[in-house]
Structure 1
């Protein structure tokens, strides 16, 4: 008797999609715009006793809860990152490329615009100090600038681990993602039981790695292979569980609070996002091919990291200009969450988007310029990735100052050098052609 072995989960998957996925490109652009809008609406600037006060406008406000439900797009962002990274790595493998070369390309693509931006910010802080701006205001500006950089450190770490996790996915897909999810939930439980808040920061690894891993299932066709009913049920169960976790106090209904440190609530949000995207994929794809959405996707995807890195300096500059204008004219700035403040928000948000886009255009070449061949040395790239992450973590822990910016730039320059092939060959290709990142 012949025993026919059932095909494995990986054997049932569709081949990798050919060409660009316009729906995913459009969603990535929407996510980037959502991040800029979220951070822009959280900026609060007033003048008290003749001194500017910069604060988080959402602190203690009721409106951040519904706003966070709409604009908390980071779970989808990391799922898209997993989707794009998995496809890019598989294609590189098909061409005979090594995992080290994939990671090196990621390191160079992510850190090159970062070291440029951080260097300019450090120089700007030095100029403000020389101009006599109070040290406490400069410190607040440096701290606010550093906050969004967590994404750079975490995303770089996740992408550096992607080849190893892609290999695990090909062998034990459910066990791999299940282990990451279980680890994330265990961290939440340990944090709740012990009361030690620092424990939650372990989920900077587990939550975001799990969401990236979920993106692999979208990339290899597993999600699309499920019935519509199964995807509807998955999204509904995740939604009901999320609401239950909010009402019982397990997680805060403010999804911004669930990002620092990350919690399992973001995993549920990711499942809801993934369910909606998979069910509406055809409509999103058709819409993304229209001229306006296609132009938005092309603009943002060419400048993703530049937009992310420069939107906070733009917001800080806008806040500073408003404070100086108020001090000079005597016209009071509206208090956050008041009617006058809300009336001024559309103009504020439109200005933030416009100025960020203009800066991104000016610095496009920093992100897209040709890059020399990447190293294929596992040891060199491991050091390069670790050094790049450590450089960003320095800014997160100590804040951005002239000194920390200089140290971070130095570390990133060394990381870039390590990611570069020791003996170059002619005809280095553009890193934007090597890999597209979320």
Structure 2
């Protein structure tokens, strides 16, 4: 994710942000990050439609109830662009401020996990308070799952970002063959996992697919993607994805639908990989036109602001859904229209507008807390000192596994807070945060 979203700006970074970007700092990177996070939020908000039925708050599955909306997921699935931008940023950061691999892993982990710690540190006490006030355990479990349903991104991105030093060396040597090999192997492993019904194998394949997309960010950074490459990616990716869907090998939908035995995203399939390749090819082909737009100061200032807050926006985008859904639908303020009706669709526009306003309020409230927390832990980049690899690995793994657990079980499994996972995550953050303070003191 973006360094600016969690670290206080140094004098050097303030100078960089005030000046025009160097050729290496492509403004399209910030644009892709900003647009992606906004599309992710709108997509999440659109496919969630709370209802109050028989005294309980339920969330119907829109993609299942209104099948034609699965076509909309072709525009809503933008996470490949997120990882592409992440790969570019990681390559730029690694080549400019090359460190020991342990220092790199520590730095990248903090940048991702500090905002996550703030989110968990606020969401969990609220769930605990809801339990103390007598809120139904099933509802608490559903809310806890919803508040962590997007956590899948965290362990995946943490792994590929941490592996940047080794992946970048491999990419420098082998070029485009690295993402091709990662993507091909990942898609093949995923296909085997589906046929053999071994989900754990699919997780490995999915990680390799995301790693391939991340590595394409390296290719973009190193200017290995010519116009011919991009056109070929767009054509080949679109053709292969269409064929796989046409012959019913994989579904059309680019999000998970509960009734589908095979998913394109859980874990990422070959169809997902080809879709991502086509999407990246098209977007980078129009990048020159985007750079002209981003040269306008007013446009660039807005893009930069959204991009810098991308991690915070991503983490908190489900909170307005829970708050507004509970208030409007459980109290009967919002009319109960039939899902898919014309009135229901008009209500969707009002729903999006209300969520956007609430989201701005949430961000305004969260930012000061996050800034204080980050300022207390991240006191310097520690570039003149070394950290112990063993401690970095211990802190990294201690924080990593609870994220994986919450991804599948939510913050409150069956309404019960997962105290061991919370303690484990807190321990990992203490180790990594303490390293940061020690490094700053030593430097």
What range describes the TM-score normalised by the shorter chain of this pair? 0.7 to 0.9
Question: 1:237: Cα distance to partner?
Answer: 1.6
Question: 1:63: Cα distance to partner?
Answer: 3.2
Question: 1:188: Cα distance to partner?
Answer: 2.8
Question: 1:192: Cα distance to partner?
Answer: 4.0
1:380 to 383, 391, 411: 391
Residues 409 and 116 of structure 1: is their aligned pair in 2 closer, same or farther, counting only changes over 3 Å? farther
Structure 1 residues 159-211: Cα deviation after superposition (integer angstroms, max 9, x where no partner): 11111111211222344323311221222331343244554233331111111
Name the counterpart of 1:82: 87
Name the counterpart of 1:413: 426
Residues 230 and 199 of structure 1: is their aligned pair in 2 closer, same or farther, counting only changes over 3 Å? closer
1:150 to 149, 152, 157: 152
2:217 to 215, 218, 230: 215
- TM-score under structure 2 normalisation? 0.84
Question: 1:318: Cα distance to partner?
Answer: 1.4
Cα distance in structure 2, aligned partners of 1:166 and 1:366: 35
Question: 1:377: Cα distance to partner?
Answer: 2.5
Question: 1:72: Cα distance to partner?
Answer: 0.3
SS of aligned partner of 1:52: strand
1:131 to 126, 130, 133: 133
Work out whether 1:56 is the aligned partner of 2:61.
yes
1:339 to 331, 342, 349: 342
Q: Which runs of 5+ in 1 are unaligned?
A: 1-15, 429-438
1:65 to 62, 67, 70: 70
Contact 2:187 2:273 in 1 (8 A): no
When structure 1 is superposed on structure 2, of 140-149 and 348-357 the one drifting more is 348-357
Cα distance in structure 1, aligned partners of 2:56 and 2:417: 26
Contact 2:379 2:436 in 1 (8 A): yes
Work out whether 1:244 is the aligned partner of 2:249.
no
Name the counterpart of 2:203: 201
Name the counterpart of 1:397: 408
Work out whether 1:32 is the aligned partner of 2:41.
no
Contact 2:320 2:355 in 1 (8 A): yes
Cα distance in structure 1, aligned partners of 2:44 and 2:145: 14
Work out whether 1:259 is the aligned partner of 2:229.
no
Name the counterpart of 1:314: 320
Cα distance in structure 1, aligned partners of 2:22 and 2:418: 41
Question: 1:58: Cα distance to partner?
Answer: 2.3
Contact 1:146 1:399 in 2 (8 A): yes
Work out whether 1:353 is the aligned partner of 2:359.
no
- Give the total of aligned pairs: 404
SS of aligned partner of 1:251: coil
- TM-score under structure 1 normalisation? 0.85
SS of aligned partner of 1:59: helix
Name the counterpart of 2:193: 191
SS of aligned partner of 2:427: helix
Higher relative contact order (CA 8 A, sep 6+): 1
Contact 1:391 1:411 in 2 (8 A): yes
Question: 1:332: Cα distance to partner?
Answer: 4.2
Question: 1:41: Cα distance to partner?
Answer: 0.6
Work out whether 1:301 is the aligned partner of 2:300.
no
Contact 1:200 1:261 in 2 (8 A): yes
Contact 2:50 2:57 in 1 (8 A): yes
Cα distance in structure 2, aligned partners of 1:68 and 1:165: 30
Question: 1:78: Cα distance to partner?
Answer: 0.8
Question: 1:115: Cα distance to partner?
Answer: 1.1
Residues 407 and 297 of structure 1: is their aligned pair in 2 closer, same or farther, counting only changes over 3 Å? farther
SS of aligned partner of 1:319: helix
When structure 1 is superposed on structure 2, of 176-185 and 105-114 the one drifting more is 176-185
Residues 366 and 298 of structure 1: is their aligned pair in 2 closer, same or farther, counting only changes over 3 Å? farther
